[in-house]
Amino acid sequence: MNYLADIGLEVHAELATRSKMFCACPVVDPALAQPNQAVCPVCLGLPGTLPVVNQQAVEFGLRVALALDCTIAPVSIFARKNYFYPDLPKGYQISQYEEPLAEHGILPIRTPQGVRNIRIRRVHLEEDTGKLTHVLADGEAYSLVDLNRAGVPLLEIVSEPDLHTVEEVRVYAESLRSLLCTLGVNSGDMEKGAIRFEANVSIRPAGSSDLGTRVEIKNLNSFKAMERAVAYQIGQQARLLDAGKAVEQETLGWDADREVTYSQRSKEEAHDYRYFPEPDLPPLGVEAAQVERIRQNLPELPFALQERLIQQYGISAEEAHLLSVDGNLANYFESCVRLAEDMPARIVLNWITGEVFAWMNQTGESIQQIKVPPEALIGLLNEVQQKIVNLNTAKSIMSEMLQSGQTAQVIIQQKGLQQVTDSNLIAAMVKEVLAAHPDEVKAYLDGKETLANWLFGQVMRRAGGKADPHMIRTELESQLKNMTKNTLRREGEK
Amino acid sequence: MLTREEVEHIAALARLELSAEETELYRRQLSAILEYAASLQELDTSEIAPTSSVLPPHGVLRPDEPRPGLSLDDVLRNAPRVDQKQFRVPPAIE
């Protein structure tokens, strides 16, 4: 049977504040910090302490809510979500429930099938939990608790179940990530858990308008895990329905190693959390003037940026998406294009999506960290355009630039990489190569035309890779043509 | 009246282990409390917004300025057991 999937995503994004949500403890880098290095009586949940809301977290939350075109609540309420687990020293998480910071937004996404507007149900503020490490040592099982992350501000962004394919889920998640990065409210560092996902998935027979029973999948910490888990769950539900069985509403975890979902038994239901208004915090009031000020100061958002890149530079939607993933990438691209007005934007783009992306993938450096600023890249491309070096040499120069931070000019000078463009010299090299390989030349003349490339390679090798490839090809063709004529003439004489 | 199952469920959420006698005792006590509180339901509050807080909105916000917290010794002072600078607790894996 044919089914349509309905998928909604809950995204938890850490807000890039300097201090925690309800206390002044610093937010520390989990990769660098010692355990329990940033903990105080408030986030430790000691009796008699009181939370105070971080102004910057509210500002960041509003920035996101406005960028998603949400309606901002003039007054929102913090709520206690009660449950006992060692990652939560207070015994409850301060979150927002019935009256969140913002509701009813839209995130437009660009899929290969076109633009889709995904509805945002709500955006609310809450605090992160501590980190548990489960240990099994000498036959003894225990857990270790590090509370550095407890109380770090989180923004929860919940979509309506408007996504229908794994691809849409991925594009939505990527679009949201680039939005958060563009707004400067999140590091985008998935490996450090700065963004986490939960997906709710249901399927219904194609043509039916009633949503199916939904299953929630938690612990999705990477795009890959999310895609795999959603695809797995859609398949699983289709198998159940095909077999005439029903999908049960449940909460699942995702086992990234075995790539299967597993049931999280005994997870509390919403009413078991005994939500109630947080008595230690007053309602959060937001002034209209503040909302207006934040709205006015929003930067160009990824979707609008893509639109502009497509229009202005004639690049594809896919390429525009790639560049808008990180606002700094688009900046880099546009700086390059501005520096080289007579060069097609396409050439610049190919170098960025080619050599630069490959380097960033390989080293993990960001566009801001690479040692080749736009001026340096354009410097290299100018050398190519003026035929000082050929394309292949330019690629190896680029890899050296990325490594050392030297300019193309310096590398060319130091290594003597200037392209050989002396036509007499090239003609002489072609002649030498043809003389040195009579068998291959004969085979070529007998019709094995692919050998032309091999002969080209020999000449280029003799030139140390530095000759103008176009000149070699022309010279090679003309010398071989002469030989063909000579052979024909000799045969005619026989 | 609350059922035994309801009392057991609430006890489980609170991580409390109750004997059969205790379950019955609390069932009666909790039911009496709920019954008493239920008398409030007789009031017509349809015209009144819920009082989420008695405090006025736009409370006090804190500037985003980090300050050092407690020393590690103080953080772990009340820990039942300590291991690798962390609280060591019974296994909490699901």
pLDDT at A265 (0 to 100): 55
Closest CA to A32 of A181, A148, A128, A153: A148
- Is B55 contained in some domain? no
Measured between CA atoms, how close is B58 to chain A, in angstroms? Answer: 4
The mean per-residue pLDDT over the stretch B29-57 comes to 87
- Is B9 contained in some domain? yes
**C-alpha to C-alpha distance for A131 and A258, rounded to whole angstroms:** 23
* Structural domains counted in chain B: 1
pLDDT at A450 (0 to 100): 85
Structural domain that includes position B8: 4-41
- Is B19 contained in some domain? yes
Task: Delineate the domains of chain A, giving CATH numbers in brackets.
Answer: 3-295 (no CATH), 300-415 (no CATH), 423-493 (1.10.10)
Q: Quick one: how many helices (H) and strands (E) in chain A?
A: 16, 17
The mean per-residue pLDDT over the stretch B74-91 comes to 93
Compare CB distances from B85 to A35, A38, A264 and report the shortest one's residue.
Answer: A35
- Is B50 contained in some domain? no
Considering only CB atoms, which chain A residues are within 8 Å of B5? Answer: none
pLDDT at A346 (0 to 100): 87
- Is B37 contained in some domain? yes
Q: Which two tokens stand for residue A148?
A: 């550095």
pLDDT at A317 (0 to 100): 85
Beta-carbon contacts of residue A173 (< 8 Å; ≥ 6 apart): A9, A11, A197, A223, A226
Whether A144 has a pLDDT exceeding 90, the answer reads yes
Q: How far is CA B9 from CA A241, A244, B4, B5, B18, in A?
A: 32, 33, 9, 6, 11
Residue matched to tokens 């999908």? A247
Q: Per-residue pLDDT tens for B70-82?
A: 999 999 998 999 9
Q: Taking the CA of residue A253 as centre, how many other CA atoms within 13 Å lie in the half-sphere pointing to its CB?
A: 13
The neighbour count for residue A425, using CB atoms within 10 Å, is 13
Residues A281, B87: C-beta atoms closer than 8 Å: no
Whether A271 has a pLDDT exceeding 80, the answer reads no
Give the SS3 label for residue A130: coil
Whether A266 has a pLDDT exceeding 60, the answer reads no
Pairing of strands A102-111, A114-127: antiparallel
Share of chain A above pLDDT 90, in %: 43
Q: Per-residue pLDDT tens for A111-120?
A: 888 899 999 9
Q: Per-residue pLDDT tens for A278-314?
A: 999 999 999 999 999 999 999 989 999 999 989 988 8
A488 — pLDDT class (breaks 50, 70, 90): low
**C-alpha to C-alpha distance for A296 and A284, rounded to whole angstroms:** 22
Which residue type, as a one-letter code, is found at position A98? E
Average pLDDT along chain A: 88
pLDDT at A464 (0 to 100): 75
Pairing of strands A78-82, A131-137: unpaired
pLDDT at A145 (0 to 100): 95
What value of ipTM does the predicted structure carry? Answer: 0.86
Considering only CB atoms, which chain A residues are within 8 Å of B94? Answer: 253, 264-267
Q: Is A478 exposed, middle or buried (0-12, 13-18, 19+ CB in 10 A)?
A: exposed
Q: Per-residue pLDDT tens for A222-264?
A: 898 899 999 999 998 999 888 888 888 888 888 777 778 787 7
- Is B31 contained in some domain? yes
Select the more confidently predicted residue: A31 or A107: A107
Strands of the B86-89 sheet, one edge to the other: A131-137, A140-146, B86-89, B82-83
pLDDT at A138 (0 to 100): 85
- Is B67 contained in some domain? no
pLDDT at B59 (0 to 100): 61
The mean per-residue pLDDT over the stretch A74-91 comes to 92
**A412 touches A383 (CB < 8 A):** yes
pLDDT at A70 (0 to 100): 97
**C-alpha to C-alpha distance for A475 and A6, rounded to whole angstroms:** 63
Q: Per-residue pLDDT tens for A57-76?
A: 999 999 999 999 999 999 99
The gap from C-alpha B44 to its chain's centroid, in whole angstroms, comes to: 29
Residue A159, beta-bridge partner list: A120
pTM of the model as a whole:
0.79
Considering only CB atoms, which chain B residues are within 8 Å of A146? Answer: 85-86
Closest CA to A282 of B60, B42, B69: B60
The mean per-residue pLDDT over the stretch A381-394 comes to 82
**C-alpha to C-alpha distance for A476 and A481, rounded to whole angstroms:** 8
Compare CB distances from B72 to A36, A53, A84 and report the shortest one's residue.
Answer: A36
- Is B47 contained in some domain? no
pLDDT at B94 (0 to 100): 52
The neighbour count for residue A196, using CB atoms within 10 Å, is 21
Nearest CA in chain A to B70: A40
pLDDT at A255 (0 to 100): 79
Q: Does B67 touch chain A (CB under 8 A)?
A: yes
Closest CA to B91 of A35, A86, A131, A251: A86
A408 — pLDDT class (breaks 50, 70, 90): confident
Q: What is the CATH number of the domain that holds B24?
A: 1.10.20.60
Measured between CA atoms, how close is B67 to chain A, in angstroms? Answer: 5
